[in-house]
Structure 1
Amino acid sequence: MDLRSTLLVIGGSACSFKLLNTIFRCLPAPESARKKAWRWRNICTSLAHSSLTGTWAVLCLYREPQMAKDLISSHSLSSHSLVAVSTGYFINDFLDGALNQPFKQSWEVLLHHSVVISCFILAATSRLYVGFSVVSLLIEINSVFLHVRQLLLLSGRRNRPGTEISAPRPSVTYSVTSWLTLGTLLVFRVCTAAWMTRWLAANGKHMPRYVLTMGTVGLSLVSTMNVVLFYRLLRADILNNTHSTSRKH
């Protein structure tokens, strides 16, 4: 794609995800989620993006294994389109969060999206570092389970029906989702970020200084957020449940 086509795909993607969010507004939501209708729609839209781009990234790397060896110049129409589509989503989600949430609640997401948008726009418009961007989108595989977990919480389906309020027990669906979230976080967030950091350190000499700086800042931010996210999930779903079980016995 040339530059004009790339920009059209990015804009079209942003508008499409905005339309999808509007469609979710018209669809019925669980009663317990109606007080947080914006968050429900936002997570549903994010789940659609994660499902699409996570699967797309795996297919790109499977069909074009050379991309994993040359993250700078190797790309295809499919991988380039993937980065452009994902850029459009992050632009839409940035605007959605900035306009509908207090800054105190959204600053982490806005900071993350700002870095991702900057890196992805560079890759999409220059057609360089597309492979690097595609590898980073493997993180979206974990985001699928993370978003499903959030939807279960919003819909009030965390605990088994009939369990005592003083000693609630997680439902089977929530427990499975929780463990899959933690497992895929370690594989597709932590390991992916570690591999990308290693690659960046080994190939930084072949990159302009401003690109290396963007990559380093982005990976540092993502790695920090991964550690914080893992701790929060571990505390919420494992440590708290263990303490509850101990108190029961």
Structure 2
Amino acid sequence: MTKLGYFLYDFIDIIINKKIIKFWEVLIHHIAVGGMFFYNVIQCQCIAYNVVALLAEINTIFLHTRKLLQMCRVKYTHWLYRANSYVNLVTFIIFRFGALIAIAYGLYEWGHRVTATYFVLLSSSCLIMTVINTVLFWRLLKNDMLRKPTPSGVMSTLDGKQKTH
């Protein structure tokens, strides 16, 4: 239930601070994942899918570290920022895409054990998360690995915008 509290807090924070357009994918993510977490907990079933989905939080550590490094004005070229970028991408692939693959496999292999409603809800949530994770991964790759050297003091944020420090 703690994760649901975080999703709810973050969702309300984005709406109150009028950042809906900037963080639309985060809102959709919170609806898709939070909805499935809530449904699973209330129904007291398929909790294993929640556990697998929580593996994505391992990657969140490095996403938040990236943001903290940006807030502390650590340069993109600094070894700590670069190291976090590599670990961030690797954990993104393993724990975000890997979790989605594991859940999709579970639906394929054991989909007959759940109701049709649950199957559709979880399949829809997986599809939404695949699209959102692909967009976020591309942004990370583009901003941290594929970008051209920038003038000193200019840093790119996850949404692709540049900030001057």
- Per-residue displacement from partner, 1:39-73 (whole Å, max 9, x unpaired)? xxxxxxxxxxxxxxxxxxxxxxxxxxxxxxxxxxx
1:176 and 1:152 mapped to 2: Cα distance? Answer: 12
1:239 and 1:107 mapped to 2: Cα distance? Answer: 24
Cα RMSD, aligned residues only: 1.5
- Per-residue displacement from partner, 1:115-167 (whole Å, max 9, x unpaired)? 122111111112111111011000000010011101111221124xxxxxxxx
Q: Which AA in structure 2 matches 1:94?
A: F
**Structure 1 counterpart of 2:115, from 200, 203, 208:** 208
SS in 2 for 1:231: helix
Match of residue 160 from structure 2: none
Confirm or deny that 1:244 pairs with 2:149: yes
Task: Compute the displacement of 1:197 (Å).
Answer: 0.8
1:151 and 1:100 mapped to 2: Cα distance? Answer: 20
Match of residue 122 from structure 1: 39
Q: Which AA in structure 2 matches 1:140?
A: E
**Structure 2 counterpart of 1:225, from 124, 132, 136:** 132
The answer to whether the Cα contact below 8 Å between 1:98 and 1:110 also exists between their aligned partners in 2 is: no
SS in 2 for 1:158: coil
Q: TM-score, normalised by structure 1?
A: 0.57
Quick check: 144-153 or 93-102, which moved more?
93-102
**Structure 1 counterpart of 2:100, from 158, 180, 193:** 193
Structure (1 or 2) with the greater helix fraction? 1
Task: Compute the displacement of 1:239 (Å).
Answer: 1.1
Identity of aligned residues (%): 31
The answer to whether the Cα contact below 8 Å between 1:145 and 1:181 also exists between their aligned partners in 2 is: yes
**Structure 1 counterpart of 2:86, from 162, 166, 179:** 179
The answer to whether the Cα contact below 8 Å between 1:98 and 1:106 also exists between their aligned partners in 2 is: no
The answer to whether the Cα contact below 8 Å between 2:85 and 2:144 also exists between their aligned partners in 1 is: yes
Match of residue 67 from structure 1: none
Q: TM-score, normalised by structure 2?
A: 0.85
Task: Compute the displacement of 1:191 (Å).
Answer: 1.4
- Per-residue displacement from partner, 1:64-113 (whole Å, max 9, x unpaired)? xxxxxxxxxxxxxxxxxxxx111121111111111113321132111111
Task: Compute the displacement of 1:201 (Å).
Answer: 1.5
SS in 2 for 1:239: coil
Task: Compute the displacement of 1:207 (Å).
Answer: 1.1
Q: Which has the larger radius of gyration?
A: 1
1:152 and 1:119 mapped to 2: Cα distance? Answer: 32
Structure 1: stretches of 5+ with no match in the other structure: 1-83, 160-169
Q: After superposition, where does 1:38-49 map in structure 2 within 5 Å?
A: none
The answer to whether the Cα contact below 8 Å between 1:142 and 1:188 also exists between their aligned partners in 2 is: yes
1:214 and 1:114 mapped to 2: Cα distance? Answer: 12
Q: Which runs of 4+ in 1 moved over 6 A?
A: none
Task: Compute the displacement of 1:176 (Å).
Answer: 0.7
SS in 1 for 2:75: coil
Structure 2: stretches of 5+ with no match in the other structure: 151-165
1:94 and 1:225 mapped to 2: Cα distance? Answer: 16
- Per-residue displacement from partner, 1:156-204 (whole Å, max 9, x unpaired)? 1124xxxxxxxxxx10110111001001011111112111111111221
2:95 and 2:74 mapped to 1: Cα distance? Answer: 26
Confirm or deny that 1:104 pairs with 2:21: yes
